Structure formats: C-alpha cells, structure tokens
Amino acid sequence: MKKKILVLMLLSLFLVPVGVWAEDEKNDYTSMGLRQACESEGISFNHPDYEEGEEKANIYLFRGSGCEHCYDFLTYLEAITEEYGDTFNLISYEVWYDQNNNELLEKVAKKLRDDVTGVPYIVIGKNSWAGYSESLNEEIFQAIQEEYENKNKNDVVTGVINYEKKFGITDILIPACFIIFVFLIIYARWKTGKEQSETIQE
C-alpha cells in the first residue's frame, strides 16, 4: 500500500511540469527586427549604423508576408530611420504563415480591446492601429516620440508575453491541492485498512 501511495504522488508531481512545458512550447513566437523585415519584403535598408536598443520605443508590427499595406508601413519606417532611427525599434511578427504569431496578435488585440480583422496591426505603447495609410504617419510618429521619452515604457506586447510565461498563484495552488487531496484519500483508506487488520488479529 505504501508503494502505491508513493507511485501516485510521483505521478501527480509530474503532471505540473508537463503542462508547463507544453505551454512554453506553444508560446514560441518568431519576430524580426526592422532590417530583417524590410529585407524580407524587398525594401532596401541602407542604414549600417542602425541598432536596436532597450532605451528606444518598441514598435510592434503584426504583418502578413506580401501584404501591401504592411509593405507601405515598413517603407515609411525605413524613410525616417536616417533621422529618427535612434528613437525606435521594430519587432515584426509575421502572422499569415505563423500560427503562434497569429495567436499572439489575437491576445494583444484582446488586451487592448481592438477589433482586428486583418493586417497590419501596429502597437506602440498603449496606442494601436488596425490598418495603415499615410494619413496615420503623423499620429504614429507622435506615438513613437512619446513612448521614447517615457521613462516607464508602456510595453503591452511584452506584458502579454511575460504574463504567459510566469507562474500565477493558481497555477501552483490547484495542482498542489489536488496532490494533497489524493494523498489524504489514499492515506485514510490505508489507515482504515490497517485498523481493521489490527482488530481482526486481536
């Protein structure tokens, strides 16, 4: 009986990490920087001094490979890189051919309460745009500068990703309570059986 208790407890303990590993694998998102995204769409990127940095504003672009309006937005960013490239990074997620990236888009849109039916979907701080046209350039540029100057970055996308990766209290308590519950039931049955056995012997 003691061996059965030990085996059941060990099996219960293995249930938790297996679920966590599966979730981590699911959340494997693939992104490109500005240079890579431009080059993947055939846009010349002649800015050898451009580098990404933590102090810059993050522009998140959810795009489709070959999407015309995504191409236009990347072209706009390339055009302002020479003068303003020291203020922003681009993190680009291709969503037409990458299901994980598409799921991230849906989670971010839900967090920001946006109704997103296509791409591009652009997020800068707490600001977002579902779609792109040149008429948005001034608004987007202003959002870049505000986020760059903001010491406490409003990085919603990173917040969504980090929330998925960390353990919540319920992630620990629920499996722990289940293990304790199973152990108590088995122990109670074992104790009852032992007492009955002792009574018979007497």
Q: What distance in Å separates the CA atoms of residue 111 and residue 139, rounded to the nearest whole number?
A: 21
The CATH number that applies at residue 63 is 3.40.30.10
- Give the total number of structural domains in the chain: 2
pLDDT at 201 over 90: no
Q: Are residues 174 and 153 in the same domain?
A: no
Q: What is the DSSP letter of 66?
A: T
Q: Which of 22-26, 86-90, 144-148 has the lowest mean pLDDT?
A: 22-26
0.85 surpassed by pTM: no
Same domain for 182 and 98: no
For 114, residues 6+ apart whose C-beta sits below 8 A from its C-beta are 121, 128, 130
The answer to whether residues 140 and 155 belong to one domain is yes
**pLDDT tier, 20 (very low <50, low <70, confident <90, very high otherwise):** very low
182 and 197 housed in the same domain: yes
Q: How far is CA 74 from CA 37, 41, 47, 96, 138, in A?
A: 8, 9, 14, 17, 15
Asked if 130 and 108 sit in the same domain, the reply is yes
**Separation CA 61–CA 22 (nearest Å):** 26
Domain that holds residue 46: 31-165
Q: What is the mean pLDDT of residues 82-90?
A: 97
Query: Quick check: 130 and 115 in contact, CB under 8 A?
Result: yes
